[in-house]
């Protein structure tokens, strides 16, 4: 896949990330948000790391945007007009 097209890291003011443990702790506490996207053949893959409010848990969200099926859906909508 290579390097991501986009990387976005948001860290609340006053928090610093010196180690991987600190990064994960900040994510769990909701003090940091992370997402990135990779262009792949016929689409885009996006990864987000998200904390769950009021818990010590979080999740990783993996999304695939399929350009071929999006184009076919757009064509079908246009054909219905």
Nearest Cα neighbor of 6 from 54, 65, 80 is: 65
Report residue 62's pLDDT band, with 50, 70 and 90 as the boundaries: very high
What is the structure's pLDDT at 1? 61
Q: pLDDT tens digits for 48-57?
A: 888 777 777 7
Q: What is the pLDDT of residue 48?
A: 87
């Amino acid at each position: 896949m290579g390097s991501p097209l986009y990387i976005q890291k948001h860290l609340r003011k006053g928090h610093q990330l010196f180690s991987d443990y600190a990064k994960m702790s900040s994510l769990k506490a909701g003090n940091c948000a992370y997402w990135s996207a990779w262009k792949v053949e016929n689409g885009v893959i996006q990864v987000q790391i998200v904390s769950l409010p009021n818990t010590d848990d979080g999740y990783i969200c993996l999304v695939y945007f399929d350009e071929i099926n999006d184009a076919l859906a757009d064509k079908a909508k246009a054909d219905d007009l």
